[in-house]
Structure formats: structure tokens, C-alpha cells
Structure 1
Amino acid sequence: MKSIHPKWIYLIILSLIWGSSFILIKKGLLGLTPMQLGAVRIIFTGAFLFIIGFKKIKGIKTAIAWKGIVLTGFLGTFFPSFLFAYAETEIDSAIASILNSLVPLNTIMIGFIVFKIKSTKRQVLGVLIGLMGTILLIMNGASLNPNQNYFYAFLVIISTFMYAASTNIVKHYLQNVNPLAIAVGNFTIIIIPAIIVLFFTGFFKVETFENEQLRPALLYMLLLSLFGTAVAKVLFNKLIQASTPVFASSVAYLMPLVAVFWGLLDGERFGFWQGVATIIILFGVYLANKKRGQTS
């Protein structure tokens, strides 16, 4: 019997893990500010990665590789950790996950603009369709939830461009670096800035620890850090190396299904036209990934 290619196993596991990340962020915000949440998430993840793989840093030997590590650390983890936290103070976790589906489309655009990777007419059409779906999603989300500020949705969109840039950098400059080494290297760079940020948020004041919501919030962040960031970071790097940047980014196909499920369980409103917009976005992603002759 033909064995399943590892890339599909990585894809499914990542979809389940990352699809659950958005509801964990939402729950964590009940006891933490967005800046505290982003910083705690990075610190927890960094501590875990250092324990299991600090020696792997020796595998990062060239200046070019370290430049890639720095860029992917900030673009792929540091800034998005704070941007998503702020976004979910105003928009639902399910909407954040759907907008995150733009990563494959942005991967194609950045690959074309920065890395001179040729794009087909089908891919361009996919990007345009995805853009239409995004506009429809934001407009109908704002109408369905007038109490939410949908300008915060653009924080998620900015994050998707950062993820896309990070994905291309890993594929072009870190292809031969151990995935765990990449993850540990990322957090070696960003953990100190995260600690500084956490210090200036007032997290260590007595009032913070008197908050009854702090303990469950930290538990949610521990789960998010161990699985949604640390484990997933390594798996995603493996996925990129086992396939292509665009295929790796297609984890965004399945994540919204998991996130919407959690969101509905948590009482979030999800209307018919939001569902239509989601289908349009994912169809655009599908078209963009159907490049002839592409090896994945």
C-alpha cells in the first residue's frame, strides 16, 4: 500500500493546532492585555524550545542563515503575536482565522515581487478573487457585528504579509537548516525584546496577580505556546522543506474550519454572507495554488 507523504500529515496536524490557536488567544485576553499576551506567548514558547533544542543552534553556521533567522523570528512570530492579540480585542476569533487564509495569496505576491518567482494568470486571478472575498468578509462582518471595530481586521492582514515573507525566506535561505534549529534560533533573537515588552506593560505589579482571570489566561497561553507556537513552528518548517512555500501556506485551507467550529461553540455570530466570503477566499487560494508544472 502506498504510504502517505509526510507533508500531508504535517498539514493536517498544523491545521488542527493552528485552527485552535485563535480561540486560545481570545480566552487569554480575558486576563491579559494584548501586549502582555504577545510577550508571554513568546517567552513561554522560547523557554520550551530552549529546553528541548538549545544545542541545535550550532547548526546555524553562516551569516546568511542568521540573517534569515532574525528576519523570520520577527516577521514570522514576534510582530504577529502582538498584532493578532490586538485584532482579537475587536473581531471574532473565527474571522481572524479566515483572514489568516490570505497567507498563501500573499506568499505568491511576495514571491513574485521580492524573489522574482513567476506567477501564472490563474494565480493572479486567485489573488484577485481572494481580495474580493476579503472585502466581502470585512463588510458583512462589520454589518453583522456593529459593536466590533473591523478596522482591526487589517492587523491580521498585515500579519499575513509577514507570515508570507517569513515562509519565502525559510524556503530560499534556510532550506538546509534543521527545522528545530530555525525555531530555537528565532526565539533566541526575540525572547529578550519580549521580556522587555512584558516588563513595561506593568505585568509584574501586584494588581496583575490579584486578577482572578490571570491564572486561566496563563494556562491558555501555555497551551498556545507549547502547541500553537513551539511544536507548530517546528512542524511548519518541516512542511516547508518537504514541499513548497505555497503548499505549506495552504494550511490556511483547513484552519478556518477548526476555528469557526470553536467560535460557534463560544457563541460567536457567523452569518450566511460571511460563509460565502469564506468560500470565495478559499476558492481564490485554491486557484492560486493550481500552478501548472508546480512540484509540491
Structure 2
Amino acid sequence: MHHETPPLKAWLLLGLLALIWGSSFLLIKKGLLAFSPDQLAAIRIASAGFVLLPFILQRVKTVRARHWLKLISVGLVGSFIPAFLFAFAQTELPSGVTGVLNTFTPLATLIIGVVLFHQRAVAQQWIGVLIGLVGTTLLVTASASGAFEFNRYALLIIAATICYGLNLNLIKHHIHDLSALTITGVSLFLVAPPALAYLLLATPFTSQLATPEQWFSLSAILILGVVGTAMALVIFNTVVKMTDTTFTSSVTYLIPIVALVLGIIDGEPFFIQQALGLGAILGGVWIANKRKRQPFNTQR
């Protein structure tokens, strides 16, 4: 652990990481202009999985037989399924709201850790969870009229955060003997071929690259997969090595702010209910992790 003040380079990289992960929701929005949600998710997973291949060729040697099924599970729960959930959710949700809802990941991780993995939790952590749930409720029911109108598509994002929470607990409790880059790179590569096969064989993708709009959307999705996953992972691991996991986990608080600001710049509405929801979720995350902070990878 590094106890000295983080260097300027670490702060700059942390800011870059927040920009990359925070902008991923806007990139999804732009990708959906020309492609269906399932196509977007497939392109995202395939590009992320294959671009990491050079980084994991040597690391595959450290993977044992007992790891493979767990790594497939991580690939499915940590990347493949959430990619589809986010894509379908953003057909009816603003990118800024999606970015804020994604912040529920640390709280979902805590709940799953206690319920399924017999982790111990103090009262303070449960208070944080309850406050976060209130914030999530405000976001799920926010509307232009100020009335409470339930948006069922927000449940897809909550389901994605549950997937992330399950994934983080699987890694922590069952694959702790592999490095973060090995886990992410190998697990993504395992689900990349099925995603690519689905894209090429089950969708009209190859016939959809005829207009500038389609190429623009494809570029947005490729940036989402390559930069938002591969580059972000390298930056995340670099910052952890330069400082510690507590410092790096503070990106949790920056991502929704970036997502909301970019959404507003792109013309998305912003309601007082959403501001209250953002404040409650971030407050809940801070309270739940005040005693014992842990790194939470909130977008991958």
C-alpha cells in the first residue's frame, strides 16, 4: 500500500479514467443511432475481447484447469450480459441517468457479498445501502412533470449492477490468485468469439455499413469496446500500482458526474429528482465504504 500523497500523474490518470468510463454511456447512445441493442453489445464485447489478446498471450500460462469455468462465468456475468442490458436499457433511458444508476454497483456488491458469500457487514454499511436504494428509487421514477412515473427499463441497469456485484464477489472469493489483467483479458476473450459469431451470422451487420451515420455509430461502439474496456483497464491497473486501491476506487464518484454533464451537453433533460437521486446514491456509497473501502470496477 502507498501511504504518501498521490503524484500529479496519478490524479491526471484518474481523471482520464473517469472521462473514459463516464463517456461510455453517451457512446452507447450514439451507437444506437444506427445499430440495434443486440448488435451494439456484440460489437462492444468482440472488439474488447480481441484487442486485449496481445496482452494475455503470456498470461494464459498462469491459468489452471480449475480457473476456466470461473473465467467463463466472469466473462458472462461481468461483461457479456451487462453489455446487452445496458444497450437495451438505453433505448428508453438518457445516458446521464444510466451513468448515475450504474453507481449502484458498489452497493449491489455489498448486498451480494453478505447474502451469497457470507461476508460480514456493519450497521453503517446497511444504512449506506438503504440511502442508495432511496436514490435509486428517485432515479427510476424521475419524470419531466415531477410526478413519480416508474420506468421499467431502469430495472435493466439495476440488473446489470447486480451482475457486476456478483462478478466482483466471484473474483474476490474464487479467483483471487490471478491478476486483474489476466482475469479481465481471458474472460473477455472467452465470450468475444460467440459475440462475433452472433453479430455476423444472426444480424444484418455486414449490409449496414453503407452510410456515414452507420460508420459514425460503429466508430462510437469500437471506441466503447477498445478504449472503454482495454485502455481503461490498463489505466486502472497503472493507477493502482502508483497509489492504492482506495485512491483508485474514488473514480466511483466521478463517473456519474461525467455521464450527467455529457448527457446535458448532448441535450438530455435534467430533473431535480435526478439530482437528489445522484446525491443519495453517492452518499450511500460513501457511507457504506467509509470504514473499509474496496475497489469497485464500475464500468468495463
Q: Report the TM-score range of the alignment, normalised by the length of the smaller protein.
A: 0.7 to 0.9
- How large is the RMSD of aligned CA atoms in angstroms? 2.9
TM-score (norm 2): 0.86
Which residue type is aligned with residue 122 of structure 2?
Answer: T
Displacement of 1:201 after TM fit? 1.9
Matched residue type, 1:104: P
Query: How far apart in 2 are the matches of 1:62 and 1:240?
Result: 28
Instruction: Tell me the residue number matched to 1:2.
Output: 4
CA distance in 2, matches of 1:239, 1:171: 19
Q: Which position in structure 2 is the counterpart of 1:190?
A: 191
Are the equivalent residues in 1 in contact too, given 2:89–2:156 (CA < 8 A)?
A: yes
Alignment of structure 1 residues 220-231 onto 2, 5 Å: 220-231=220-231
How many angstroms apart in 1 are the aligned matches of 2:294 and 2:185?
Answer: 29
The C-alpha deviation readout for 1:9-66, integer Å capped at 9, x for no partner, is: 7754432221111001101111111011000111111221113432321121241x22
2:54 paired with 1:48: no
Change in Cα spacing, 1:46 to 1:295, as seen in structure 2 (3 Å) is: closer
Question: Alignment partner of 2:268: what SS?
Answer: coil
- For residues 198-231 of structure 1, what are the alpha-carbon distances to aligned partners after superposition, in whole Å with 9 as ceiling and x for unaligned? 1212212x3x122432111111112111121122
The residue identity in structure 2 corresponding to 1:40 is I
**Could you say which residue in structure 1 is the equivalent of 2:39?**
36
Structure 1 pair 287/7, CA: closer, same or farther in 2 (3 Å)? farther
State whether structure 2 residue 268 is matched by structure 1 residue 268. yes
Structure 2 CA distance, aligned partners of 1:40 and 1:16? 21
Q: Whose helix proportion is higher, 1 or 2?
A: 1
Distance 2:234 2:177 in 1: 14
Gaps of 5+ in 1: none
> Corresponding residue for 2:298?
none
Deviations 1:258-289 (A, max 9, x none): 11111011000011221111101111111111
Q: Alpha carbons of 1:200 and 1:267: their partners in 2 closer, same or farther (altered >3 Å)?
A: same
TM-score, with structure 1 as normaliser: 0.87
- Residue 138 (structure 1) aligned with residue 140 (structure 2): yes
Corresponding letter in the other structure for 2:289 = N
Pairing partner for 1:74 from 73, 76, 92? 76
- Structure 1: distance between partners of 2:294 and 2:219: 41
**Shift of the alpha carbon at 1:187?**
2.1
Q: Distance in 2 between matches of 1:179 and 1:234?
A: 10
Q: More deviation in 185-194 or 234-243?
A: 234-243
Q: Is the 8 A contact 1:34 1:82 kept in 2?
A: yes
- Residue of structure 2 equivalent to 1:180: 181
- Kept in 2, the 8 Å contact 1:183–1:230? The answer is no
Q: Which amino acid aligns with 1:202?
A: P
| 2:22–2:256 contact (8 Å) kept in structure 1 | yes
Go from structure 1 to structure 2 and tell me whether the alpha carbon gap of 1:121 and 1:284 turns closer, same or farther (over 3 Å shift): same
What is the identity, as a one-letter code, of the residue corresponding to 1:41? R
Q: Take 2:264 and 2:15, find their aligned partners in 1: how far apart are those partners?
A: 21
Task: After TM superposition, list the pairs within 5 Å mapping 1:31-180 onto structure 2.
Answer: 31-63=34-66, 65-141=67-143, 143=145, 150-180=151-181
Segment of structure 1 superposing worse, 247-256 or 65-74: 247-256
CA 1:100–1:12 in structure 2 vs 1: closer, same or farther (change >3 Å)?
same
Q: Hey, what's the Cα distance between the residues in 2 that align with 1:237 and 1:163?
A: 18
Structure 2 stretches lacking a partner, 5+ long? 296-300
How many aligned residue pairs are there? Answer: 289
The equivalent residue for 2:212 is 212
Task: Please state how far the C-alpha of 1:115 moved relative to its aligned partner.
Answer: 1.4
Identity of aligned residues (%): 38
